[in-house]
Amino acid sequence: MNIRIKTQNSTTGFTIPCTEKQIDKLCEVLGIPNNSQTVVTVDSVYG
């Protein structure tokens, strides 16, 4: 599955399944913490 995440400052993509290291890098790029307190919401799904 290909995922695209858009924030106010950037858009980035990754493929699931992925490694914890890839998730850590994604969070770094997006400027969000990679911990159990982080909440991410799906805004829309596209084909």
**Residues facing residue 4 across a β-bridge:** 13
Sorted by sequence, the CB contacts under 8 Å of residue 33 that are 6+ apart come out as 27
Instruction: Name the phi and psi angles at 21, rounded to 5.
Output: -60, -40
* 3-class secondary structure, 12: strand
pTM beyond 0.85: the answer is no
Q: How many CA atoms lie within 13 A of 5 on its CB side?
A: 17
pLDDT digits (tens, 9 = 90+) for 1-46: 888 887 777 788 888 898 999 889 888 888 889 999 988 777 777 7
